[in-house]
Amino acid sequence: MSQQAAAPPPVAAPSPAPTQARPAVLAPTGQGARPAYPNAVVTPTKPRVTAWVKGKASGTPGRMRMLGAVAAIAAVLFGVVGAWNMWSSAQALGRAGATTDQVVRVQSIYADILRADADATNAFLVGGLEDSAQRADYEAALKRAAETIATAAAAQPADGAALAALNAALQDYAGLVERARAENRQGMPIGNTYMTSASAGLRAAAVPPLEALLQANAERSRGELSMAGSSWPTLVTGAVAVLVLALVGLWLARRTHRYLNIGVTAATVAVLVGLIAGMVIFGGIAADARKVSTNQLAGTLALTSARTAAFDARANESLGLIRRGQASANETAWAKNDATVTTNLSALGGVTWFGGTGSASALSQAWTAYQKAHVEVRGLDNAGTWDAAVAKATGATETPRASFAAFEKASASAVDGFQAALVKDVDGPATRASTTAVVLLLVGLAAAVLATRGIAKRVEEYR
């Protein structure tokens, strides 16, 4: 009989060792909150980025890397700030040029308005037989004034409201002048009233806004010119960058016992040269800006102011004759304008002359000739010979009209010369500043690259 092998006794299962509670990993929604992997142990991962940074910054190589980063940031900061500073100077010069153009436009409007009034009042004295050339000059002056008003409003929107009111005053003036001419051709005395009212209304409505516009734009122009030479941001960041690079180079020399790091040294030299060149160019820009402000701009303002006052004086000469025996107020106004012309012409003696072939003394002589002619007109009128005074003041070949025409022509040519010089001496520095801005930016970036590569070579020696 065969025997069967006895079965081994059952072995009791060992009791499980106590384990830490495992965080449950929830199953997806809809499957219940049970662990997806019941035997998995979740451990927090190390902050690898922080560890990497600490590794890179540890020891001498780490400190070298940090100093390289500081040197690169200082160099880039110099390039960016220097470029921004130069670019801002170029923009300031551009705004100064644009604002100065607006000053000239406003002065041109001012002069053309009073020029038209001088033509209108002088032609009015002749009666119905107006001089055709004088009438054409009157119409051309009004047309130029209207066109320049539109151009000035488009160029400087801030002046738009004042210029719109000025244009309306100019239209009212032209309407009254036409009414005065119509009455004068018929020999009606009321024409005198229309003419004097037109001139008075023009001065009351046009002169205050024109003076305000001139002052505002002249102040803007001078302010922009003074800002163009401001170089302290470039100076400060450049000095800091040179200092940082020099200190980094010194630390490397002491640590590595090599007295010259080509990359850091080249970066230091590049920033230093860029700083010196930038300061030289800033100095040139500041000098050019001062020259423009004290010469071209000052001369342009003096000439345009003299021309405006001269046209006003000429108009008041005719208005004094129109009033027949009541010229005291107009003669007072004439004397005030004469003083303005004389003062502005004298101021031209203190600036560099850019007015072409003429000179400040030649302009003064031309005005003196007109002054003498005016005295002759007033002498005839005061002596009771009104007709002779009118003939003297209105005759195309007589000294008042001829001497004034000579002054007007010479002063207009001088204004053109000063304005051309102003544009040239503003555009040149602006272009130079824009070019230097690009160069400084490239210098800063190149210095950053050089310093980084120079320090990287020292770091390699520690591997």
Instruction: Judge whether 264 and 454 are in contact, CB under 8 Å.
Output: yes
Rounded Cα distance, 245 and 240, in Å: 9
C-alpha torsion sign, points 136, 109, 423, 98: negative
Task: Using 50 as the pLDDT threshold, list the residues of the chain that sit under it.
Answer: 1-33, 36-37, 40, 42-43, 45, 53
Rounded Cα distance, 126 and 124, in Å: 5
Instruction: Judge whether 97 and 423 are in contact, CB under 8 Å.
Output: yes
Torsion over CA of 310, 315, 316 and 321, rounded to 10 degrees? 140
Instruction: Judge whether 71 and 432 are in contact, CB under 8 Å.
Output: no
The average confidence (pLDDT) of the chain is 84
Looking at residue 340, its pLDDT comes to: 95
Q: What is the 3-state secondary structure (H, E, C) of the chain?
A: CCCCCCCCCCCCCCCCCCCCCCCCCCCCCCCCCCCCCCCCCCCCCCCHHHHHHHHHHCHHHHHHHHHHHHHHHHHHHHHHHHHHHHHHHHHHHHHHHHHHHHHHHHHHHHHHHHHHHHHHHHHHCCCCCCCHHHHHHHHHHHHHHHHHHHHHHHHCHHHHHHHHHHHHHHHHHHHHHHHHHHHHHCCCCHHHHHHHHHHHHHHHHHHHHHHHHHHHHHHHHHHHHHHHCCCHHHHHHHHHHHHHHHHHHHHHHHHHCCCCCHHHHHHHHHHHHHHHHHHHHHHHHHHHHHHHHHHHHHHHHHHHHHHHHHHHHHHHHHHHHHCCCCCHHHHHHHHHHHHHHHHHHHHHHHCCCCCCCCCHHHHHHHHHHHHHHHHHHHHHHHCCCHHHHHHHHHCCCCHHHHHHHHHHHHHHHHHHHHHHHHHHHHHHHHHHHHHHHHHHHHHHHHHHHHHHHHHHHHHHCCC
Instruction: Judge whether 345 and 367 are in contact, CB under 8 Å.
Output: yes
Looking at residue 377, its pLDDT comes to: 93
Looking at residue 33, its pLDDT comes to: 47
Rounded Cα distance, 445 and 181, in Å: 73
Rounded Cα distance, 347 and 250, in Å: 58
Reference 74, options 272, 278, 232; nearest CA is 272
Looking at residue 323, its pLDDT comes to: 85
Exposure of 36 by Cβ count < 10 A (0-12 exposed, 13-18 middle, 19+ buried)?
Answer: exposed
pTM: 0.72
Mark residue 34 as left, alpha or beta (left: phi above 0; alpha: psi -120 to 50; beta: remaining): beta
Rounded Cα distance, 250 and 147, in Å: 67
What residue spans define the domains of the chain? 66-452
